[in-house]
Amino acid sequence: MFSKKIKPLTIGLFILMILFVAACSSSGSNNGKSNETEVNKPAVTAENQSSPQEKEEVPDLGGRVIRLSAWWDLTPNGESASSKAELEQIAAVEEKYNVNIEFVNVPFDNYVDKFTTTTLAGEPFADIVMLENKAALPAILKGQILPIDEFTDGTSNINNEQNLIKKNEPLGGGYYGFGRPGNSGVSLMYNREIFKQLGLPDLQELYAKGEWSWSKFEEIAKLATKDTNNDGKNDYWGFSGWGLDIARHFAAANGAKAVDDAAGKEGISDPKMIEALEFVNKLYNVDKVVKVKTGNRMEWTEIETFKDGDVAMFMAAEWMVGDLQFDFSIVPIPNGPQGSDKYVFADSAGQGFFIPKGVKDPQLVYKIYEEMVDIPPLEDFPGQTWLEGIYKHQEDIDMVVQHISGRGMPALEDAYPDFPLSSVVEDIISKNASVTSTIDKYKQQAQAAVDALGK
């Protein structure tokens, strides 16, 4: 049977192997039944041997109305596949808990007043409310909003994958706001046509090589500010924007914020803020690379001056550029000397959902909301369809998703009445006042504004 060339030891091992396989086959025999059935059987343990697995106990809320509010209509319109899926999931959740989900649309001008009066009365007008961060912060400091850890637990998606619900940036030193995952932010955008005409280096290539910095930004802004026909007027400008907005973004990119809301301290005297303001002042008053269309550097409509098509670089969010007639691309706003990748823009328009104090069974309300949005993803990443409708280049979409989204520093100075950031910036860029003397002038007023709101 065996070749004579096989050594005795090899034969012995071979025989042992055959015996071992035979033994395994005998002990694993299922008397002709499919092995798949055996594999799929749950292991018998002391726990499941004594009692079957208990089903989830679903409370019957007796037709309770769960209200979600915003200053627009949150109701899914059913026009897209994802919207139809949301409506189906809402119906399933309503049936499961015997509740009615209602979306409350309150005009923006009346919204905060309605939230405040009803919450103070102990009867919030909605169980989950949308608020701007600058409106939420005073309510948080007054104890009118519940922190996330009071209505979630270790099994909540928001405390794990956060693919359904994500925590927003902390406010007042804690986590309160939440929302659906998305991809958006404020970028440093550049006019590809101007860059090509003037032979300027591509900013995405500089970013990839780690060479994108304030000094490089300034260098390119100066190169792009040109009078090409020698008529005494610039045909191209290096940069444009609203002065206050520019200061906020460069401060965030340098790790500075006007107010430290966690500590209850003004931030205009922070050396990182001073460094940012010095840089902005230089762009306006030394390099003179900023186009000011209206003649007023603090006019907020300057935020759209780039649409004239003669500005090389500008700061903008996605909603501002959907109708541009020229080709453009994006990079993060360059980090300052003290900055990091954690924050690459100032989020002065941040908002989120919050649960007011006084809401009945907030844990259950949140659980219902989390189940409401638990639908299969129809995109490769959140916001894919929207971003693809705005950006012409895949590199720009990747830049938003990988390097910009989720990196906004909450800018909350507007939450504090009489906080003087606008005056600080105006004195510096419009009146060419010294940065240090301006800070000295307004520092006490800034701290008084913070103290007045409380911490």
266 & 148 share domain: no
Residue 378 domain flag:
no
My answer on whether 85 and 226 are in the same domain is: no
- Per the domain annotation, does 56 fall within a domain? no
Residues 415 and 358 in one domain: no
> Measuring CA to CA, which residue among 429, 433, 439, 436 is closest to residue 287?
429
Provide the H-helix boundaries in 128-213: 133-141, 192-198, 203-208
Q: What is the band of 382 on the pLDDT scale with cuts at 50, 70, 90?
A: very high
What is the model's pTM?
0.85
Does 426 lie in the same domain as 309? Answer: yes
Same structural domain for residues 313 and 218?
Answer: yes
Domain boundary among 317, 339, 372: 372
- Which domain, by its residues, includes 420? 186-348+392-453
Does residue 381 lie in a domain region?
Answer: no
Q: Considering the domain boundaries, does residue 2 fall inside one?
A: no
For position 454, what pLDDT does the model report?
81
Averaged pLDDT, 81-100 = 96
Q: Give yes or no: residues 119 and 252 share one domain.
A: no
Q: Which of these, 246, 316, 317, lies nearest to 281 by C-alpha position?
A: 246
As a whole number, mean pLDDT of residues 124-149 equals 98
Q: Is residue 388 over pLDDT 80?
A: yes
Are residues 141 and 116 located together in one domain of the fold? yes
- When pLDDT is cut at 50, 70 and 90, the band that residue 46 belongs to is very low
Query: What is the arithmetic mean of pLDDT over 39-55?
Result: 43
| Span 423-434, pLDDT tens digits | 999 999 999 999
On the question of pLDDT at 18 being above 90, the answer is no
| Shared domain check, 242 and 122 | no
Contact yes or no for 107/70 (Cβ under 8 A): no
CA–CA dist 452, 417 (Å, integer): 8
Same domain membership, residue 262 and residue 116 = no
> Alpha-carbon distance 10 to 12, whole Å?
5
Q: In which band, very low, low, confident or very high, does the pLDDT at 455 lie, cut at 50, 70 and 90? A: low
Start-to-end C-alpha separation, the chain: 90
| 282 plus 152 within the same structural domain | no
Last residue of a domain, one of 340, 372, 404: 372
Mean pLDDT of 215-229: 97
64: phi then psi, degrees, rounded to nearest 5: -55, 145
C-alpha pair distances (Å), 358 with each of 99, 123, 144, 146: 19, 6, 8, 9
**Hunting for tokens 């104890």 — which residue is that?**
143
Asked whether residue 38 is assigned to any structural domain, the reply reads: no
Q: In the chain, pLDDT over 70 holds for what percent of residues? A: 88
**What CATH number does residue 445 fall under?**
3.40.190.10
Closest CA to 314 of 231, 245, 405: 245
Q: Residue 87: inside a domain, yes or no?
A: yes
pLDDT of residue 56: 74
147: in domain: yes
Residues 243 and 344 placed together within one structural domain of the fold: yes
Q: Verify that 287 and 156 share a domain, yes or no.
A: no
Take residue 375 and report the two structure tokens written for it. 């639908």
pLDDT at 34: 36
Residue with the bigger pLDDT between 131 and 378: it is 131
Q: Tell me the C-alpha to C-alpha distance, in Å, between residue 236 and each of 312, 316, 334, 439.
A: 7, 19, 21, 33
pLDDT at 36 over 60: no
pLDDT of residue 80: 86
Mean pLDDT of 138-159: 97
The verdict on residue 256 lying in a domain is yes
Last residue of a domain, one of 338, 372, 406: 372
β-bridge partners, 192: none
* Rounded Cα distance, 303 and 405, in Å: 20
Number of domains in the chain: 2
**Mean pLDDT across the chain:** 89
Measure the CA–CA gap between 363 and 355, rounded to whole angstroms: 10
